[in-house]
Amino acid sequence: METNITVDTKGMACPMPIVKAKKALDGLQSGQIMEVLSTDKGSVNDFQAWVKQTKHELIKHEEENGVYKFYVRKI
């Protein structure tokens, strides 16, 4: 998937992945896609709740070797 920005929050505990993602997303144009990398298991629930609350679109999330990847489209 082609992304406009990647935010690496590996090693950070919540709420830092969400804080970093929000800051990065603020700099994107509507329709652009952000990839967030996280190693925090709690970030799965956090991202789903955050995206629902902010009305952005969580295109997909996946886990690969302990790294969670989230793809969020800015609305």
| Active-site option among 3, 8, 12, 14 | 14
Q: Which of 38, 34, 36, 35 is nearest to 67 (CA)?
A: 38
60 catalytically annotated: no
Half-sphere exposure of 21 (CA within 13 A, CB side): 30
DSSP code of 43?
H
Q: Which residues are catalytic?
A: 14
